[in-house]
Amino acid sequence: MKKLANKDYKTTFILDLRETVDDVAKVTEDISQVLDSLGASVSDTIDLGIKEFTRAVDRHYRQGHYLEIYFSGSKSTPSKLKDKLLLDKRVNRIFIESVA
């Protein structure tokens, strides 16, 4: 039987912290716990700070807090992560890419 190899991923989150008392460190910790529960291991987190959007959809939301998390997990981990964070109001967008 073949052993499934873990893949490395880079995930970029755009956070919307306007209506929460949580800071970036708390959101990073919560996302890391979700990844741990999915069997993934977080290798690095980078807080990229607040950046202006090139094209804002909402005129009241023109900038977001960017966060990068590098992790390794199975092929199903990215879709499970998106499903788990779908209803989290602090996460505006999730971009997941495989790192070679």
64 beta partners: 51
Residue 50 inside a domain? The answer is: yes
Q: How many structural domains comprise the chain? A: 1
CATH number of the domain to which 24 belongs:
3.30.70.60
Region of residue 68 (left: phi > 0; alpha: psi -120 to 50; beta: else): beta
Q: Is residue 5 part of a domain?
A: no
pLDDT tens-digit profile, the chain (100 residues) = 455 678 999 999 999 998 888 899 999 999 999 999 999 999 999 999 999 988 878 888 889 999 999 999 999 999 999 999 999 999 999 999 998 6
User: Is 3 inside a domain boundary?
Assistant: no
Instruction: Assess if residue 65 is contained within a domain.
Output: yes
Give the range of the structural domain holding residue 88, as residue numbers without chain letter.
12-99
Give the chain as a 3 state SS string.
CCCCCCEEEEEEEEECCCCCCCCHHHHHHHHHHHHHHCCCEEEEEEEEEEEECCCCCECCECEEEEEEEEEEECCCHHHHHHHHCCCCCCEEEEEEEEEC
